[in-house]
Amino acid sequence: MTLAKKPYKKPLAKKMYPYFFIMPFALLVLVFFILPAIATIIMSFTDLNASMKINFVGFDNFKRIFTDYSMPQILWNTVLFAVITLVFSLFFGLFISIATQYFLKGKLTAVIYRVLWLIPSIIPAVVYVTFWKYLFDPTEGGLINKVLLLFQPDSDPISWFTKIAMAIVIIATIVSTTSGGMILLSAAISSIPEDLYKAAKVDGASEKSVITKIILPSLKWPLMYITISDLIGFVSSYFFILLLTNGGPMRDTTTLSLYAYQQAFNLKYYGYGAALSLLVVLISLILTLWLLRLFDFDEMIKPSRIED
């Protein structure tokens, strides 16, 4: 009687069994994610530099952020780069996915356009940037200068990378990130039932109202996801900038995250770099929360009242 009532107790070996499966992953995460996260916070309170000696300096690094004379320009660059790149890559992603999934649905040309747009994101970054370097090459060997020289044979080649460096970085990033949004948006549009379009046509709806009343409302989720992940990406990563201009000329294309990288790895101010990194994390966090609020996240995860 009492034996049957006794609840089953897992032996210790069985309890430990699952941990054995996640052990390698957990160890990696501990050493190369949690530890660096804690180290970043600690380092931001030290003046760690090339000598690799830890010396606590309190809030000096954070005070330095506010007094850094290049900070206004860097913050402005970050905003400019993130906002313009986001707006245009969202616009192109939307345009291409509506064009290929609604206007040219099922056509071979639609597939060709989409594959062509995928190519910039498939090509490795190191190869991709060579094209932009060639296009805007400051000598007469560059494509744009070559074309300009055809029209004005006696003019000097223009040094594009000193004049419009930020625009070049932004264009190159837009062309390569558009495809990510395009894939998600295309998938969302293709899942809209055909009957909806037909019903709209029967009711005499214009193409404009089909797009604004049927297609766009169904894209709220993917648009939110793309906006948040792209924005965090643009604020925190700097791969194209590093390859294209290395932040130059002067600091014209240096964004906040690249500035952190340069402070740490070029100037060896690891402490200050860590403090700047913390600022990047903070900005990403605030942006995410703000966007979730803007997109009415709570409203969106409420169950639908029509279906079921």
Identify residues 107-146 at the interface with another protein (CB under 8 A): 109, 113, 116-117, 119-120, 122-127, 129-131, 133-134, 137-139, 141, 143
To another protein, the closest distance from the beta carbon of 2 in angstroms equals 27
Q: What is the number of other CB atoms lying within 10 angstroms of the CB of residue 229? A: 14
Q: Which amino acid is at 70?
A: S
Q: Which residue has the tokens 């094209």?
A: 131
Nearer to another protein, 74 or 175 (CB): 175
To another protein, the closest distance from the beta carbon of 188 in angstroms equals 8
Nearer to another protein, 3 or 50 (CB): 50
To another protein, the closest distance from the beta carbon of 268 in angstroms equals 11
Stretch that binds another protein, among 1-9, 16-24, 79-87, 194-202 (CB under 8 A): 16-24
Range 260-279, binding another protein (CB under 8 A): 260-261, 264-265, 270, 273-274, 277-278
Sign of the CA dihedral running 237, 240, 242, 247: negative
User: Judged by CB under 8 A, does residue 11 bind another protein?
Assistant: no
Nearer to another protein, 1 or 36 (CB): 36
- Which of 144, 148, 149, 243 binds another protein (CB under 8 A)? It is 243
Sign of the CA dihedral running 267, 260, 67, 166: positive
Alpha helices in the chain, H assignment, sequence order: 2-5, 12-29, 35-43, 60-67, 71-98, 108-122, 125-135, 143-151, 160-163, 165-190, 194-202, 207-209, 220-236, 239-244, 256-261, 270-294, 297-300
Q: How many residues sit close enough to another protein to count as binding (CB under 8 A)? A: 88
Count the residues in the chain.
308
* Distance, CA of 12 to CA of 71 (rounded, Å): 56
Range 185-214, binding another protein (CB under 8 A): 187-188, 191, 207
